[in-house]
A and B are shown apart, each in its own frame.
Chain A
Amino acid sequence: MDHAHAPAEHGHDGGHGHHGGMSYFQVFLILLVVTIAEVAVTFVPMPKSLLIITLIVMALYKAVMVAYHFMHLKFEKKTMWLVAAAPLFLGVLITIGSYPDSEKNTPPFKKGELRPYAPKPEAAPGATGRQH
């Protein structure tokens, strides 16, 4: 269904490559510099948690730059931003939600058996629910 809407749907920029005061080339340079910084920062001695936070912040910044400038989210209504942001919210939610089942909180896995759930001694006999 690609019958003619206006060629430049939001009258973006008249073809000058400037979006929000930043040209595509400038966006490209920023993405390039941040990518190099990401690789470089892994060589800097620092606590693991700080490194992870730094890397996630840089990755999210790059992702926002791509969505905002290249995907023209800048020109969309704020409600469209919700469509774009919903998966990010789900990603955080699913990570937090699955944390109790993470490696850290479950006993070591032994080859050849299903991952056992720790038996609950206080469970009443004949209680329904998950089989231990």
Chain B
Amino acid sequence: MSHPAVAEHLLTERRPLGAAWDKLMMWLFLGSDAMGFAALLGGYAALRFGDVNWPIPSQVLGINFTALMTFLLICSSVTMVKSLEAIQKDDRVGCWRWLFATFLGGVLFLAGQCYEYTHLIQHGVTFSSGNFAATFYCITGFHGCHVFGGVVLLGTALARVSSGTLTRHHANFIENVGLYWHFVDLVWILVFTFIYLV
């Protein structure tokens, strides 16, 4: 076997944990990234435990508005799986449409977060207002950065589908982008509960 053939064989035939290499790498990345979020939320819990001055989140934050943002992310997760489904059927137009809907969901979420931050800052809730505000901005901001990264990834995928360089044979690219996007959604579900509702 020639070297390229060996490399191809290793990449396609050896499947640790039963997954393709790129998917495995994405899962490992998401696992390590989730540990970052776990550490942030753990630190948040330590600061909050028994702090009698900790405000009731619903009295400071807009729960209904954030619930709407959560709804938006859940919708974008559905459109993301639909885009994977479309590309697996070689429906590039459908894939582009679902991807664009996901992209739009991400952009709207970021816009909502900007609106929320602006509103809070205008009402005097800044990063230095105390542990509540600092942990709020730190954790939601860290998540917002992930959403931004996801939007960039989705933009890349959109460009590739538009240019015709992404076909059903590259569906694993969309699958990996989807994994990342669902992870962003999953983390938000936890952030929404711990920061806004509890």
**A interface list, Cβ under 8 A from B:** 1-5, 7-9, 12-13, 15, 17, 24-25, 27-28, 31-32, 35-36, 38-39, 42, 51-52, 55-56, 58-59, 62-63, 66-67, 70-72, 76-77, 79-80, 83-84, 86-88, 90-91, 94-95, 97-99, 101-105
- Contact present for A83 and B27 (CB under 8 Å): yes
- Contact present for B88 and A15 (CB under 8 Å): yes
In whole angstroms, what is the CA distance A77 to B96 when docked?
30
- Contact present for B35 and A59 (CB under 8 Å): no
Q: A94-B39, A98-B45 are known contacts. Are A1 and B21 too (CB-CB below 8 A)?
A: yes
- Contact present for A70 and B81 (CB under 8 Å): yes
- Output the least CB separation between A42 and chain B (Å): 6
Hey, what's the 0/1 contact readout for B174-197 against A, CB within 8 Å counting as 1?
Answer: 011011001101100110111001
- Output the least CB separation between B141 and chain A (Å): 19
Q: A58-B193, A66-B182 are in contact. List 9 more A-B contacts (CB 8 A).
A: A1-B22, A31-B74, A39-B64, A70-B81, A71-B183, A72-B175, A91-B38, A95-B42, A103-B47
- Contact present for A86 and B58 (CB under 8 Å): no
Which A-B residue pairs are the 8 nearest by beta carbons? A104-B50, A94-B42, A91-B38, A87-B34, A102-B49, A59-B193, A98-B46, A103-B51
- Contact present for A98 and B42 (CB under 8 Å): yes
Contact with A28, one of B27, B47, B78 (Cβ below 8 angstroms): B78
In whole angstroms, what is the CA distance A56 to B31 when docked?
20
At the interface, yes or no: B139 with Cβ under 8 Å from chain A? no
- Contact present for B197 and A24 (CB under 8 Å): no
- Which chain A residue shows the least CB distance to B12? A5
Which residues on the B side are within 8 Å of A39 (C-beta)? 63-64, 67, 197
- Contact present for A63 and B20 (CB under 8 Å): no
- Contact present for A24 and B78 (CB under 8 Å): yes
- Contact present for A63 and B42 (CB under 8 Å): no
At the interface, yes or no: B113 with Cβ under 8 Å from chain A? no
In whole angstroms, what is the CA distance A80 to B39 when docked?
21
Hey, what's the 0/1 contact readout for B1-27 against A, CB within 8 Å counting as 1?
Answer: 000000000011000011111111001
User: Can you offer 30 A-B residue contacts whose CB atoms are under 8 A?
Assistant: A1-B22, A5-B20, A8-B88, A9-B20, A13-B85, A15-B86, A17-B81, A17-B82, A27-B78, A28-B74, A28-B77, A35-B67, A38-B192, A39-B197, A55-B193, A55-B197, A59-B189, A59-B190, A67-B182, A70-B77, A70-B78, A71-B182, A77-B17, A83-B27, A84-B30, A87-B34, A90-B38, A94-B42, A98-B45, A103-B51
- Which chain A residue shows the least CB distance to B46? A98
- Output the least CB separation between B85 and chain A (Å): 5
Contact with B85, one of A15, A36, A66, A105 (Cβ below 8 angstroms): A15
At the interface, yes or no: B123 with Cβ under 8 Å from chain A? no
At the interface, yes or no: B75 with Cβ under 8 Å from chain A? yes
At the interface, yes or no: B80 with Cβ under 8 Å from chain A? yes
Which residues on the B side are within 8 Å of A87 (C-beta)? 31, 34-35, 37-38
